[in-house]
Amino acid sequence: MQAPTTTSMEIQFTTRIFKEGRTFVAHALELDVSSCGGTKAKAVSNLKEAVRLFVEEAEKMGTLEQILEEAGYRKGKKLAPPKFISVQRMTLPLPPLTHAKA
């Protein structure tokens, strides 16, 4: 009896990196997975590991296909994320909030 064969795939995702104090935070937008590190490179490295673990765990739980579909991924040799048309910072005036702290 032969062992089951596995097909190697790649997943693409868009990463935004920002700082919170002295810590760099890397966030995979389509998957809503984040990680951090003391440097930008370490945050990105940690994010790649977090995404890998997230995908592996979702596969074990049987929810990976649903997660990827809801995030807009298309199947192929590479799991391609949805194409962003625009990414921009927006401002929206809000009414006075009684419980918000500035």
Q: What is the pLDDT of residues 59-87, one digit of tens each?
A: 999 999 999 999 999 887 788 888 888 88
At residue 64, the pLDDT reads 93
What is the layout of strands, in order, in the sheet containing 33-37? Answer: 15-20, 23-28, 33-37
pLDDT of residue 1 exceeding 60, the answer is no
Global pTM value: 0.78
